[in-house]
Amino acid sequence: MSSTTPPSAPPPASHDHRIPVTILTGFLGAGKTTLLNHLLKQPQMAGAAVLINEFGEVGVDHHLVEQVDESVVLLDSGCICCSVQGDLVKALKGIFMRALRKEIPPVTRVLIETTGLADPVPVVHTVMEEPFIAERYRCDGVITAVDATHAITQLGDNREAVRQVAMADRLLITKCDLADTATLAEVAARIATLNPGAQQVEISHGSIDPDVVFGCGLYDPGAKSPDVAAWLGEERVRHQQARKAALAAPLAWRKSGQPIVAPTAPARHDANVTSYVLTFPEPLNWFAFSDALGLLLQVYGERVLRIKGLLNVAGDPLPRIVQCVQHSIYQPTSLPAWPDQPPYDDRKSRLVFIVRELPRTAVVELFYSIGGVEAEAEPSA
């Protein structure tokens, strides 16, 4: 692990008794869950509550988190940056109230793992300004995982990736074992232009000292590029307008006879990015499947933002985990057992796709054309 810029001194938070919240973000496949699995083994995580958010209807991430107990909460009813008033606020209130009633041990910190497509602005806004939350929690930092091998493309193509970097207190450059020196230098320079004040740390396989992740000090938009304060300001105005509209609605409705619709959140995600699931009802021939996946990424890799899933491989009693980012396929691993909750309790193979302008039919056709694997329809997210 090496640091390429010196850390800035965190503002003192010793008199602040609110629960610190760390927001772990980073684009699709950047290594957030890998990092989380490393952190969960560290003593500094004792008393921490972890909130995991996923994009798409069929969740995979919470099965990939190695230590799942009551301190790990899955936010699965949508992307937190879109439904932030709902799920995230409810979860943070719930954690606080359950700890107060002594139903769970005291919570010393909260770590939120966002989806790879999350805009961190509304998440930071919620922690800093939602009244119930801001009185009990403080934003202790935004930590952004930046995939050394894909960052340049991801930052060029995705607004979310740029915001994730710009909002960060710490930039963790991941997958350094896979990147050469020239690529690392290019990534470091690119992210420094977006966020010159953030400490950059190079890591491999999620291995990091938790002290680098925690204790950033009270989140300070003023220490970042002027864009950050502007984005948070826009978010504040949007929330004030929504609140006003909600308060005004009954009166206006009585006057006009028509319901007033409160301003909705802006579209946070690129409409060309979609998610769907392929289900394979029968156990898979690993070699035929690997060939099909390899061909898929060769043909469509640029449009594949992320693939992850659990496979039932013929002859293997354990669910095999498959993970891809663009053209890259990672070393498959296995879970120690099949999950006993739906949908995986039926032991069918499922692959979750997050793609840009790649219709599901094209992917299904490709798997059919290779033979040996069969896809059945599931609703898209």
Ligand X SMILES: Nc1nc2c(ncn2[C@@H]2O[C@H](COP(=O)(O)OP(=O)(O)OP(=O)(O)O)[C@@H](O)[C@H]2O)c(=O)[nH]1
Nearer to ligand X, 63 or 238 (CB): 63
Contacts of 238 (CB under 8 A, 6+ apart): 263, 265, 266
Pick the piece of the chain touching ligand X (CB under 6 A) from 71-79, 201-209, 266-274, 282-290. Answer: 201-209
81 binds ligand X (CB under 6 A): no
Q: Site size for ligand X, by CB under 6 A?
A: 22
**How far from the centroid of its chain's Cα atoms is residue 350's Cα?**
20
109 binds ligand X (CB under 6 A): no
User: In the bound complex, which residue of the shown chain has the CB atom lying closest to ligand X?
Assistant: 116
275 binds ligand X (CB under 6 A): no
Q: How far apart are CA 168 and CA 124, in angstroms?
A: 11
Nearer to ligand X, 37 or 83 (CB): 37
What is the residue whose two structure tokens read 């739906």?
342
Q: Kindly report the number of other CB atoms within 10 A of residue 172's CB atom.
A: 27
Identity of residue 43: P
138 binds ligand X (CB under 6 A): no
What is the residue whose two structure tokens read 């359950």?
98
Interface residue with ligand X among 21, 23, 30, 124 (CB under 6 A) is: 30
Copy the structure tokens of residue 126: 């919620």
Distances (CA, A) of 343 to 68, 174, 310: 18, 31, 11
Interface residue with ligand X among 22, 25, 34, 200 (CB under 6 A) is: 34
> What minimum distance in Å lies between the beta carbon of 146 and ligand X?
10
Closest alpha carbon to 64 in 342, 318, 310, 347: 310
Distances (CA, A) of 57 to 76, 89, 264, 274: 8, 21, 22, 11
149 binds ligand X (CB under 6 A): no
Closest alpha carbon to 164 in 233, 229, 211, 117: 117
Q: How far apart are CA 102 and CA 79, in angstroms?
A: 29
Site for ligand X in 320-349 (CB under 6 A): 323, 330
Interface residue with ligand X among 18, 63, 190, 205 (CB under 6 A) is: 205
177 binds ligand X (CB under 6 A): yes
28 binds ligand X (CB under 6 A): yes
Nearer to ligand X, 96 or 276 (CB): 276
Distances (CA, A) of 363 to 151, 283, 296, 352: 25, 19, 7, 12
Closest alpha carbon to 147 in 129, 168, 120, 165: 165
Nearer to ligand X, 20 or 29 (CB): 29
Interface residue with ligand X among 22, 33, 195, 274 (CB under 6 A) is: 33
Site string for ligand X, 206-245 (x = CB under 6 A): x---------------------------------------
269 binds ligand X (CB under 6 A): no
- Tell me the CB-side half-sphere exposure of residue 261, using CA atoms within 13 A: 3
> What minimum distance in Å lies between the beta carbon of 18 and ligand X?
27
Interface residue with ligand X among 20, 21, 26, 349 (CB under 6 A) is: 26
Nearer to ligand X, 20 or 309 (CB): 309
Copy the structure tokens of residue 195: 């966020």
Site string for ligand X, 41-70 (x = CB under 6 A): --------------------x---------
116 binds ligand X (CB under 6 A): yes
Q: How far apart are CA 108 and CA 114, in angstroms?
A: 20
Site for ligand X in 288-307 (CB under 6 A): 306
| Number of residues assigned to the chain | 381
169 binds ligand X (CB under 6 A): no
Q: How far apart are CA 316 and CA 267, in angstroms?
A: 43
> What minimum distance in Å lies between the beta carbon of 302 and ligand X?
17
Closest alpha carbon to 123 in 72, 171, 82: 82
Closest alpha carbon to 307 in 340, 330, 287: 330
Nearer to ligand X, 203 or 292 (CB): 203
Interface residue with ligand X among 20, 32, 38, 166 (CB under 6 A) is: 32
The footprint of ligand X (CB under 6 A) covers 26, 28-34, 61, 116, 145, 174-175, 177-178, 204-206, 306, 308, 323, 330
